[in-house]
Amino acid sequence: MPRTALVGSRIRERRTVLKMRQAELARSVGISPSYLNLIEHNRRRIGGKLLVDIARQLEVETTALTEGAGATLIASLRDAASGNAEAEKEMPRIEEFVGRFPGWAQLLSSSHRRIDDLERTVEALTERMAHDPFLSESLHEILSTVTAIRSTAGILNDTQDIDREWRERFHRNMFEESQRLADGAEALVSYLDSAGGDADVRSSPQEEVVAFLKAREFHLPDLEEGDEAAVHDLVVGDEDLKSASAVELAEAFLHRYQSDAEKVPMSDLLEALKDGALNPSALARQFRVDLSTILRRLASVPRDKIGRSIGLVECDGSGTLTYRKEIEGFPLPRFGAACPLWPLYQALAQPMMPVHRVVSVSARSDEVFETYAVCQSINAEQFDEPQVYRAVMLFFPRKAGEASDALHLDAGTSCRICERRKCVARREPSILADGL
């Protein structure tokens, strides 16, 4: 069902709230009740003057009737529905659901994300159980101690004619081992208690760092002035950075941010952006920096200064997303792989070759995004090390009337929730029903 079809549902909902009869509304805007009925059941498209008139009669802005639910919310709900046969059957009505019950939809989406988080936490803890050297060593120690106690207790219990000397020796052993068991258990509990903190809702250090940056809208004024201590001051004690790994990652990110800021001062960048044009190549030449730097820098400009939302995503050589700055309409998968058609991955496949594409991430939306991607080695000056590549992609919605000479590319978010069934890059079947 196209998003515009939801307008009818919203009209019906609003009219019902106002306790207005269908015939009354139809008469007030000069159409027949049967035609309004078709509109309200999303069987006729509506726009232009008629939409404005109806909105006026319903005492709402036209945008309140036309505004679709957020793409991120819908993507999240689709993900939640995957694997549930009953919910998948109702997938064609997902936008209607979001439109009519935004609160419930948000709750369902939040709950789904929470479940995802918890599953990741369980996965992380399982991984820790299997590979954590301290935990492995502790459990081994405890099992060995328990073995000694069990064997010794068994001897004391089962052997009637045991010598006094042996009995005393085994009692002493039991005492020693019980002390050792108590110490080992205490150390283990203490370790697990301290580890529990970083097994919170955000299940990976990267997510903690993204939360930290999101809270600051990805712009860090304290780092614009080159104050060395600012990085430390920002991360220490921050409530979003719960794990030591996240603190380490955040520090590395902030140092890079600071380095980028030195090369491309924010005031100079804003001056360069004054004419409204956003041309990363020209800016890279102007500031004499590489493309990766200018792309990252553009993504750190406050939204109110640049007049649009700008997203950024980075991946390493394996294609794993290592940084996400999401914007409305261009959702980034939290788990699993992203769309292999993204210019990010095209850039990854051809290091040092910039890729500029106009991308559509949904077949059901007219919205398109300008994307700029490039892949560079982070240790290009080393002869004797394997080259390590990182790709970065900047993206922002193209405004109405803006032109672009870049090639158009139909992509998606990830195969599982992508409606482009005949995509050459499809990795797995989509869960979406035909016709969506």
Partner 1 sequence: MSKEVLLIEDEPNIIEAIRFILSRDGWVVHTHSDGTTAFEKITEKQPDVIILDVMLPGRSGFDILHDVRSVSERPDIPVLMLTAKGQSKDRARAEELGVSKFMSKPFSNTDVLAAVRELAGQ
Contacting residues toward partner 1, per CB under 8 A: 139-140, 143-144, 146-152, 154-155, 158-159, 166, 169-170, 173, 176-177
Nearer to partner 1, 21 or 150 (CB): 150
Contact in structure between 431 and 81 (CB atoms under 8 Å): yes
Minimum CB separation from partner 1 for residue 125, in Å?
Answer: 17
CA distance 283 to 263: 12
Of 106 and 178, the one with the shorter C-beta distance to partner 1 is 178
What DSSP element (H or E) covers 370?
A: strand 369-377
Q: At residue 387, what is the residue type?
A: Q
Are 333 and 326 a contacting pair, CB within 8 Å?
no
Which residue type sits at 81? A
Structure tokens at 227: 């104050």
Nearer Cβ to partner 1 (127/402) = 127
What is the closest distance, in whole angstroms, from the C-beta atom of residue 161 to partner 1 in the complex? 10
Nearer to partner 1, 171 or 399 (CB): 171
Task: State the distance between the two ends of the chain, measured CA to CA, in whole angstroms.
Answer: 6
CA dihedral 174, 176, 178, 183 (to 10 degrees): -170
Residue 147 vs 190, nearer CB to partner 1: 147
- The CB-of-145 to partner 1 minimum distance in angstroms stands at 8
Assign residue 83 a region: left if phi > 0, alpha if psi is -120 to 50, beta otherwise?
A: left
Closest by alpha carbon to 299, among 335, 241, 336, 260?
260
Over the range 124-144, which residues count as b (16 or more CB within 10 Å of their CB) and which as e? bbeeeeeeeeebeebeebbee
> Which are the contacts of 358, defined by CB distance < 8 A and separation ≥ 6?
368, 369, 370, 371, 398, 404, 406, 407, 408, 409
- Minimum distance between the CB of residue 244 and partner 1, rounded to whole angstroms? 27
Do 390 and 317 contact (CB within 8 A), yes or no?
Answer: yes
Nearer to partner 1, 85 or 130 (CB): 130
CB of 146 to partner 1, least distance (A): 5
Q: Which is nearer to partner 1, 57 or 145 (CB)?
A: 145
CB of 134 to partner 1, least distance (A): 15
Pick between residue 84 and residue 151 the one whose CB is nearest to partner 1. Answer: 151
HSE at residue 191, side-chain half, CA atoms within 13 A, is 17
Residue 141 beta carbon to partner 1: minimum distance, rounded to whole angstroms = 8
* CB-CB contact of 404 with 398 (8 Å): yes
Shortest spacing between CB 127 and partner 1, in angstroms: 14
413 in Cβ contact with 333 (< 8 Å)? yes
Question: Please, which residue, 146 or 277, has the CB nearer to partner 1?
Answer: 146
Residue 275: exposure state from Cβ atoms within 10 A (0-12, 13-18, ≥19):
exposed
Cβ 174 to partner 1 shortest distance, Å? 8
Of 109 and 138, which has the nearer Cβ to partner 1?
138
Give the shortest CB-147-to-partner 1 separation in angstroms: 4
C-alpha–C-alpha distance, residues 276 and 257, integer Å: 24
